[in-house]
Amino acid sequence: MSDIAFEGVGKTYPDGTQAVTDLDLRIESGSFTVFVGPSGCGKTTSMRMINRMIVPTVGTITVAGQDISTVDPVKLRLGIGYVIQNAGLLPHRTVLDNVATVPVLRGQSRRAARRAALEVLDRVGLDRGLAGRYPAQLSGGQQQRVGVARALAADPPILLMDEPFSAVDPVVREELQAEMQRLQADLHKTIVFVTHDIDEAIKLGDRIAVFGRGGVLQQYDPPQVILADPATDFVADFAGRDRGYRGLSFRSAADVVLHDITTATAEQLSTLRLESGDWVLVVDAAKRPQGWVDVTGLELIRAGHPPADGMAAGGSLFPPGGDLRQALDSAISSPSGWGVAVDDSGAAAGGILATEVIDQLAQQRSAEDVTRNRHFFDQE
């Protein structure tokens, strides 16, 4: 077990700054907990107190039931993985030796540690061909993956992550988030992840701890509860005005109807006849969506322009097993008004209407009301 508990924890600096105030919090073993809040709210301070990089002024922190103030800090840190922004890699060591750092410090032979490090590189999706490179020879995303690999190399039960993805571009950040979700599903570590981005917190966290000014814990709940039932005005404002829309990501879209939509390859466009308001989805030979064409676009193509000139960019795609947010977004982001669902191969599988996604939401809420009322009367 590797649960973490804060009991009456506070941190006041010598200048009187109150970084954390009376924090009571229990993090379950094997959970992914996200500390989120604006700059200066105590979230990073709270996380760093777990591995004694910062010592609390008052209160007790326990890991697996043991008061960490009684544990040698070096021993404690060697048993906790730690990932920071910009990876924090040792510039004079190769990727392989960076990953092997902690196992060697714990007494493993360098040869065995390097052999195990190669397997960890595989686990985080890094090519073994990068093992002999130095950090400066890697992209930002690769460096962050190495940082995660180094934290995992000694197989620690706890992983602390301090805004690890905030310095990379949005595309790489999304890839790293997906990689983190995959790793957690496989490894079931106790993860404490710090971010100032509520969207990242909602995407990654099993539970979210929202911190306010002075390091006051405002709410600690699953992400869907944070969005649907914020405990304070501060949480409601921090979650954002579109929190209802984002809450759709926790609702199944399994019952959303897929309709047949007209598709054509670029070569078939010249044979089509479209009326005003009609749209056709352009696909490649494998039926993967390429864009949409209407009457105006078709006239351009027939006039000799390349197909790309007549196509409107498609909206987001609705993936297999997607949620209501993805379904609705695919429809409202599409120029045709039809969301495009794809199968596992990426081929177009059907069309989605926004009105039917909203109907599905209403049906789910009605069913929840019935269940809630039945529960209420059963307790009477």
- For 95-139, what is each residue's pLDDT tens digit? 999 999 988 988 889 999 999 999 999 988 889 999 999 999 999
Report the CATH number at residue 293: 3.10.580.10
226 and 336 share one domain? no
Question: What are the start-end ranges of the H helices in the chain?
Answer: 43-48, 73-78, 95-99, 101-105, 110-123, 140-152, 170-187, 198-204, 223-228, 233-239, 243-246, 295-302, 307-310, 324-332, 354-379
Query: Does a structural domain hold residue 373?
Result: no
User: How far is it, in rounded angstroms, from Cα 194 to Cα 216?
Assistant: 15
Whether the CB-CB separation of 59 and 39 falls below 8 Å is answered with no
Cα end-to-end span (Å), the chain: 38
Can you read off the two tokens belonging to residue 92? 């004079």
Query: Does a structural domain hold residue 289?
Result: yes
pLDDT at residue 279, rounded to an integer: 93
CA nearest to 183, candidates 130, 120, 128: 120
CA nearest to 166, candidates 97, 82, 86, 268: 86
CA nearest to 158, candidates 135, 126, 192, 112: 192
Query: Does a structural domain hold residue 372?
Result: no
Report the CATH number at residue 94: 3.40.50.300
232 and 280 share one domain? no
The CA-based diameter of the chain, rounded to the nearest angstrom, is: 79
pLDDT value at 48 more than 90: yes
pLDDT at residue 305, rounded to an integer: 86
Query: Does a structural domain hold residue 112?
Result: yes
User: pLDDT by residue (tens digit) across 222-275?
Assistant: 999 999 899 999 999 999 888 888 889 999 999 999 999 999 998 888 788 888
Q: Tell me, what amino acid is at 241?
A: R
Among 201, 227, 250, give the residue marking a domain's end.
250
Mean of pLDDT over the chain = 91
CA nearest to 30, candidates 237, 203, 187: 187
pLDDT value at 81 more than 80: yes
Q: pLDDT confidence of 162, banded at 50, 70, 90?
A: very high
Q: pLDDT confidence of 375, banded at 50, 70, 90?
A: low
pLDDT value at 373 more than 90: no
pLDDT at residue 338, rounded to an integer: 95
Whether the CB-CB separation of 232 and 211 falls below 8 Å is answered with no
59 and 106 share one domain? yes
User: pLDDT by residue (tens digit) across 310-348?
Assistant: 889 888 999 999 999 999 999 999 999 999 999 999 999
pLDDT value at 380 more than 70: no
Q: pLDDT confidence of 378, banded at 50, 70, 90?
A: low
Q: pLDDT confidence of 84, banded at 50, 70, 90?
A: confident
306 and 159 share one domain? no
Among 250, 283, 308, give the residue marking a domain's end.
250
How many Cβ atoms are within 10 Å of 254's Cβ, its own excluded? 10
Across the beta sheet with 66-67, what order do the strands follow? Answer: 18-27, 4-12, 58-63, 66-67
Across the beta sheet with 338-342, what order do the strands follow? Answer: 317-318, 338-342, 348-353
pLDDT value at 377 more than 70: no
8 and 125 share one domain? yes
More reliable by pLDDT, 86 or 58: 58
Query: Does a structural domain hold residue 364?
Result: no
139 and 268 share one domain? no
Query: Does a structural domain hold residue 130?
Result: yes
Whether the CB-CB separation of 85 and 162 falls below 8 Å is answered with yes
Whether the CB-CB separation of 10 and 59 falls below 8 Å is answered with yes
Query: Does a structural domain hold residue 147?
Result: yes
Phi, psi for 51 (deg, rounded to 5): -105, 20
User: pLDDT by residue (tens digit) across 177-226?
Assistant: 999 999 999 999 999 999 999 999 999 999 999 999 999 999 999 999 99
Rounded to the nearest angstrom, the gap between the alpha carbon of residue 1 and the centroid of all alpha carbons in its chain is 25
164 and 307 share one domain? no
Overall domain count for the chain: 2
pLDDT value at 87 more than 80: no
Can you read off the two tokens belonging to residue 94? 């190769």
CA nearest to 210, candidates 200, 220, 222, 197: 220
32 and 115 share one domain? yes
Whether the CB-CB separation of 221 and 189 falls below 8 Å is answered with no
The residue segments making up the domain with residue 158 are 4-250
241 and 290 share one domain? no
User: How far is it, in rounded angstroms, from Cα 225 to Cα 203?
Assistant: 13
Can you read off the two tokens belonging to residue 63? 């890991």
295 and 246 share one domain? no
246 and 270 share one domain? no
pLDDT at residue 166, rounded to an integer: 84
User: How far is it, in rounded angstroms, from Cα 336 to Cα 339?
Assistant: 8
Q: In angstroms, what CA-CA distances link 369 with 243, 251, 372? A: 20, 15, 5
Residue 332: CA count within 13 A, CB half-sphere: 12
Phi, psi for 179 (deg, rounded to 5): -65, -40
Query: Does a structural domain hold residue 258?
Result: no
The position carrying tokens 């910062």 is 54
176 and 76 share one domain? yes
Task: Find all residues with CB under 8 Å of 376, minimum gap 6, and list them.
Answer: none
